[in-house]
Structure 1
């Protein structure tokens, strides 16, 4: 199973979207990096540092700008018709999802040996440390629980 298929599957589990959004919006995390670390079952600090560097660059280049546009398009913007604005917002949302997929697939290519053996919570803790902005243990535990 590809990382993208896996991510879609686990993201659909109860509590996963909320846990990911809380880590992203409240704690400044890159959820693609977190999901990849769990998928790769890794706590390897060198690998995580390289992955965090790649994620940080892609975050600035694509994810943050697309997310900002999508969120800005949520509110009415007269004289633009709501249907046109909402249609554009859906297009931007699709581009944002594509950007997340590109990042996940890039990270997957960095870890051809998927089974590192690390439990989900350990992988999340190591990934958030590599990201440079550690997230609260409770928020990481909520995501680890939702993913399994």
Structure 2
């Protein structure tokens, strides 16, 4: 299954969105990188280093600026109609999601079609360590459990 379809299914599982956001917001992790690692069953340090470098560059160029704009548009702004502000916020949110999809597909291309056989927790630990600083093992284990 292609990574985007897998990621949508995985993210729909109970507990996955909450744990991904916790890892992102509290521990500075990159959700697409973590999900890709589980999908690819990858734990190889050299592959993880290349993937983390790609994810960091794309996050800085596209994802973080879009996320910042989306969050800045959340509260009401004087003299700006709420409907217009919220409409723009939804468009930015869609662009942020598209940026995450582009990253996932780039990571998919980087890893090729071959699954590497790492268990979910091992893949998450490897991805998190390559991202640096690594998230606590218990937090990664919670995501692995939610992913099934």
Is the CA contact (8 Å cut-off) linking 1:37 and 1:124 kept in structure 2?
yes
Query: TM-score normalised to the size of structure 1?
Result: 0.98
Alignment of 1:12-51 (within 5 A): 12-51=12-51
Distance in 2, matches of 1:73 and 1:143, equals 29
| Runs of 4+ displaced beyond 4 Å | none
- In structure 2, stretches of 5+ residues that fail to align are none
Matched pairs, number: 148
| Alignment correspondent of 1:9 | 9
Query: TM-score normalised to the size of structure 2?
Result: 0.98
SS at match of 1:43: coil
Cα distance, 1:113 vs structure 2: 3.3
What whole-Å deviation, never above 9, does each CA across 1:3-45 have from its counterpart, x for those lacking one? 0000000000000000000000000000100000000001111
Distance in 2, matches of 1:115 and 1:146, equals 21
1:79 aligns with 2:60: no
Distance in 1, matches of 2:51 and 2:138, equals 23
- In structure 1, stretches of 5+ residues that fail to align are none
